[in-house]
A = this chain, B = another copy of it.
Amino acid sequence: MVSGFPPPLLGRLSFLLGKLHLLTLEAEDEGLAQLDVGVKQHAALSVLVGEGPMTQQELGRRMGVDRTTVVGVVDALDERELVERRRSPADRRSNLLTVTASGHETEQRGRRLVADAEERVLDGLDGSDRDRLRELLGRALGGG
């Protein structure tokens, strides 16, 4: 598939990133569809699995989104019984989000599906170039 976009756009970093971002999101969503979770939901699940129980506020901070946005994400995960909202005993204003057994399973399967989807998106690059792209993106973001 030839991109077909004119040089003035292909030389623009925001355009390259935007297009590839869109393609990647679509591929990941398509892959996760069989688990009935979206990219955002699975990302939240992964953070909770990787970092342990935390409040909605804290989840939002780590994902870089507002706490009002977190409500909808957790609603979706809660409905599917992938996470539970437990009232924190220490501070009863906050919910301690905990991943259920089914949630752990979904997170693990999803991780594989996401990885497969990303490989399809990066079809035009060989293995070492894929690694290099990830490494460069991470370094550009500052964390490495």
Contacts and interface: CB of A to CB of B under 8 A. Distances in A.
Contact of A143 (B17, B18, B123): B123
A127 interface: no
Q: How many copies does the complex hold?
A: 2
Contacts of A143: 1-5, 10, 123-125
Interface residues of A, number: 56
A23 interface: yes
A137 B25 contact: no
A139 interface: yes
Interface of A: 1-21, 23-25, 28, 39, 43, 46-47, 49-51, 62-64, 114, 118, 120-125, 129, 132-134, 136-144
